[in-house]
Amino acid sequence: MEYRIEHDSMGEVKVPADRYWGAQTERSRGNFPIGVGLETMPREITHAFGILKKAAALANHKLVPQRMTQEKLQAITTACDEVIGGELDENFPLVVWQTGSGTQSNMNANEVIANRGNEIAGAKLLHPNDDVNMSQSSNDTFPTAMHIAAVLGIEQKLLPALASLTEAFRKLAKENEGIVKCGRTHLQDATPIRFSQEISGWSESLATDREMIEAALPMLRRLALGGTAVGTGINAPEGFGEEAAAMVSEITGTKFVSAPNKFHALTSKDEFAFAHGALKALAADLMKIANDVRWLASGPRNGLAEITIPANEPGSSIMPGKVNPTQCEAVTMVAVQVIANDTAVAMAASQGNFELNVFMPVCAYNFLQSVRLLADAMKSFEERCVCGITANTDKMRENLNKSLMLVTALNPYIGYEKAAETAKKAYRENISLKEACVALGYLTAERFDEVFRPEEMC
């Protein structure tokens, strides 16, 4: 491999000649060989750095054009567009497990943009710190990248997948109007319910989760940019934070604002803890829904077997013909991971010391993984399971007619205790509720048929 010599304030460093990063990135590669190849900084953060560095250059050009000249601006913004578009991803090799402020990742962005910008300009025009990092600090850029990545991930990936899955369940409910089945509580038979009503509970859970996630977005739209090192804004021109946030909004096409209190923006990650709580709520609901689906599909002969789900692949290496609810299992495993991530995010958010939180990379890593996993899992679950669910109406009717909890319909006519006695006798003697009720002398056969209408119980 060929190398070139780069230098920073600590001296010279050998850097791979075919990469745009510089000395500080290379030092980080050597100092943090932790999870290499597996846990690099999320690409969402890399691309967000491209956005914020472009926005910062535009703001600096407007506020201090004598320092951020048109020539420098052009080189920076062109390089940033390549970062945003993912064209330079291989130049961002650093792992999550680095300094807690994300300083090395900020410098990685500065070096790549400076070196690529210089290549574009055909001259040694840009300095990583003086130009690309102008009016900024790692302490305000990394939290800014976190917020940009979180908002874009939620808006562009998570919410569309959530809306589509919600609509798929609403469509499924309409397709199954009028089908009455046995309800269940505590995994025991309960009073009847329409299958469409059961499905409506799933779709409404997802709609509620959407409301909670959207409620967290306004706080994630507040950017730390402009706070620089400790929140005072040292070395940044007046109005830089507001101008940079406006530029971020223009670049991304979604609203961002300058955080009103930069001291809070640098040291607190409460917005992330709050927003991830909503992601955890979604994970919990997806766990419940996926479990319901696989329970209802259990069998096909010795389970509930009230619905059929798509057979996507063979389910066993030894049992021919076996089909498993694999999409449900994938969703539930994602839910477990997201719920675990919530603990990591909460712990990371608690580690603000004085003027800075120093657990930001791990906070961002877990948050963005949750967004990505939830979006992907919902899309797969919808396409490969939900859209293929069909009701086994004969089995639903059979299970409903065998349910002893239909006896609840008799409460207004014979009272709770006599109804309970009727159910117990029917169960004990393996006879119908009608036979038990008539045998006990509580209702005539004609009166029983008159008042016992399961389809009207839901």
The catalytic site residues sit at: 186, 316
Give dist(CA 451, CA 59) in Å, integer: 76
Give dist(CA 58, CA 75) in Å, integer: 12
Q: How many CB atoms lie within 10 A of CB 16?
A: 15
Instruction: State how beta strands 222-223 and 257-258 pair.
Output: parallel
In a 13 Å sphere around the CA of 266, the CA atoms on its Cβ side amount to 23
Indicate the residue type of 390.
T
Q: Which helix (H) or strand (E) element contains residue 250?
A: helix 240-252
Q: Which helix (H) or strand (E) element contains residue 6?
A: strand 3-8
Q: Which residue has the tokens 């690529």?
A: 116
Contact between residue 359 and residue 348 where contact means Cβ atoms under 8 Å apart:
yes
Q: Which two tokens stand for residue 421?
A: 């006695």
Indicate the residue type of 448.
F
Q: How far is CA 88 from CA 21, 80, 112, 148, in A?
A: 10, 9, 8, 19
- Please give the distance of CA 303 from its chain centroid, rounded to a whole number: 32
Measured in degrees and rounded to the nearest 5, phi and psi for residue 325 equal -80, 65
Residue 298's closest CA among 184, 374, 403, 407?
Answer: 184
